[in-house]
Structure 1
Amino acid sequence: MRETLTTALDLIFGHEGGYVNNPKDPGGATKYGITHRTLAAHRGVQSVTPAEVKTLTKEEAIVIYRRSYWVQSGGDLLPVGIDFMAFDYGVNSGPAQAVKSLQRVVGVTADGIVGGQTVAAVKAYKGDLIGAYAAERLRFMRTLKAWPVFGRGWRERVVSVEAQARQLVKGKVTITDAYTASAKANPKDQSLTETLKKPEAWASIGGLLSGLGGMASGSGPIQWALAIIMVGAFATGAYFLIKRMQDQAA
C-alpha cells in the first residue's frame, strides 16, 4: 500500500472523535468513525452492542480502514491529495459515494468503482480538482436530512480536509490528534433552528421580549431611546443564550 495511507490514517484520527451515539445520527453508535454496522460486518457477526462499539480499539479501527475503505476509495490509484480526500469522504459516506462524487466531477460514468478510466480522467482534469471535489462533497451533504443539525460540523470538516489535501500535494501536512469537525454526530453541532426548538430557549427569549415590550410602550423620546437600547441588549443576550445552550449540548 502507498505510503500516503500512514499519513491519511493520522489525519483521519485527527478528524474523527471518540465514541458517540447521538439519536439524531443515522449512523448510530460510532467510534473513530466506525459505525456499529461496519464493526459488525468486519467481525462477521449480525450485530454489535453500543458497549462493544465503545470498546473498539484504534488498532482494530486501522485494520477496518485499510481493508474496507482505503482500497475501495481508490487510495492506491488516485493522485496524492485526492486519494486522501476520497478516503476521508468514504469513511463518512461510504467509499462508493465518495468515488461517485469524484467521477461526476471529472466527467466519467459514476459507478462507484475506481478503474483505469476514472484514474485517467482524474489525471487529465483541467483546473482545481481538489476544490471541485470538496465542493461536490458539500453539495451531496446538503441533500442529507441531517444537514440542518450537523451541517456546520460537516462543512468545517470538508474545509479542513481540502486544506490538508493541498498540504499533502506540497509534501507538508500538519498532523493533529485533536478532534476538529467530524461528520459524525457531534451534539454540539446544532443549528440555530434546532436550538430554538427547545422550550427553555423560548422561555428565556420570551422574558427578554416582554421586557422590551414594556419599555417601548410609551410614545415619548425617552421611551423610544430606551427601546433602541433594549433592542441591542436583546440581540446580545439572545446570542449568548443560544451559544451557551449549544455548548451545554456538547
Structure 2
Amino acid sequence: MRETLTTALDLMFGHEGGYVNNPKDPGGATKYGITHRTLAAHRGVASVTPAQVRALSKEEAIEIYRRSYWVQSGGDLLPVGIDFMAFDYGVNSGPAQAVKSLQRVVGVTADGIVGGQTVAAVKAFKGDLIAAYAAERLRFMKTLKTWPTFGRGWQKRVISVEAQARGLHQGVVLVDDAPSAPAKANPKDQSLMETFKKPEAWASIGGLLSGLGGMASGSGPMQWALAIIMIGAFATGVYFLIKRMQDQAA
C-alpha cells in the first residue's frame, strides 16, 4: 500500500465524522463513512443493527477502507492528489462511480476499473486535472434526488477535497476542522429526469412503445385486452429499465 493512504484516511475521516442515522440519507446508519450495508458485507452477515454500526471501531473502518475502497479507486496507481480525490469520491459514492467520473474527464472508456489505459490518460492529461475532476464530481452530485437536502454539504466537501488534493500534490496536508458532508451521494439516487436523458433509455422505451402500438393497432375486444396487457407490461418494463440503468450508474 502506498504511504499516502494513511494521510488520505485521516483527511477522509475529517469529512465523514462519527455515527449518523439521518432518515433522509439513503445510506442509513453510518459511522466513519461506513454504511450498515458495507459493514454487513465486510463481516459476511446479512445485516447489522444501528447499534452495531454505532459500535464500529476506527480500526475496523480503516481495514474496510484498505480492502474495499483504496485499491478499487486506483489509490496505488493514480498520481498523488488524484489518488486521494478518487478515494474520497469512492467513499461517498462508490469506487466504480469515482473511477467512471475520472475516466470521463480524461477521455477513456468509463468502465469503473483503473487500468493501464486510465493511468496513462491521467498522466497525459493537458490542463488542471484536479479542477476538472472536482467539477465532474460536483456535476454528478447535482443530478441526484438528494441534492436539495445535502447539496450544500457536498459542495463544501468537494471544494475542500480539491484544496487538499492540491496540498498533497505539493507535499502539504490541509485538514478540515469539522465534517463537511457525511451523507452518501449514491448513484442510484439519480432522478428520473437524469435517467431519461440517457440515449439508451429512449432506445429501450422506443422499442416498448413500438410493441405496444403494434398490439393495439387492431380493433375488437381481443385487441383491447391485448393492449391492456401490453400497457401493464410496458409499465413493468420501464420500471426495471430505470432500475437497471441506475444500478449500472453505480
TM-score range, shorter chain: 0.7 to 0.9
Paired with 2:4 and 2:131, the residues of 1 have a C-alpha distance of 20
What's the counterpart of residue 153 of structure 2? 153
Amino acid at match of 1:122: V
Structure 2 counterpart of 1:212: none
Shift of 1:175: 3.2
Counterpart for residue 231 of structure 1: none
What TM-score do the two structures reach when normalised by structure 1?
0.72
The alignment-based identity, stated in percent, is 84
The code of the aligned residue for 1:181 comes to: S
Letter in 2 for 1:170: Q
Corresponding position of 2:180: 181
Contact 2:18–2:31 (CA<8 Å) still a contact in 1?
Answer: yes
Find the aligned partners of 2:55 and 2:120 in 1 and give their Cα distance: 42
SS in 2 for 1:181: coil
1:105 and 2:105 correspond: yes
Alpha-carbon distance in 2 for matches of 1:120, 1:106: 9
Contact 2:74 2:83 survives alignment (8 Å): yes
How much does 1:58 deviate? 0.5
2:4 corresponding residue in structure 1? 4
Cα distance in 1 for partners of 2:104, 2:182 equals 22
Aligned amino acid, residue 36 of structure 1:
H
Distance 1:147 1:76 in 2: 31
Deviation of the 1:182 alpha carbon:
1.8
- Per-residue CA deviations over 1:183-207 (Å, capped at 9, x if unaligned) read 417xxxxxxxxxxxxxxxxxxxxxx
The residue type equivalent to 2:178 in the other structure is: Y
Contact 2:17 2:182 in 1 (8 A): no
Match of 1:217 in 2: none
TM-score under structure 2 normalisation? 0.72
Whether 2:122 is the aligned partner of 1:137: answer no
What SS class does the counterpart of residue 78 from structure 2 fall into? coil
Larger Rg: 1
* Residue correspondence of structure 1 range 44-59 to structure 2 within 5 A: 44-59=44-59
| Conserved? CA contact 2:69–2:91, under 8 Å | yes
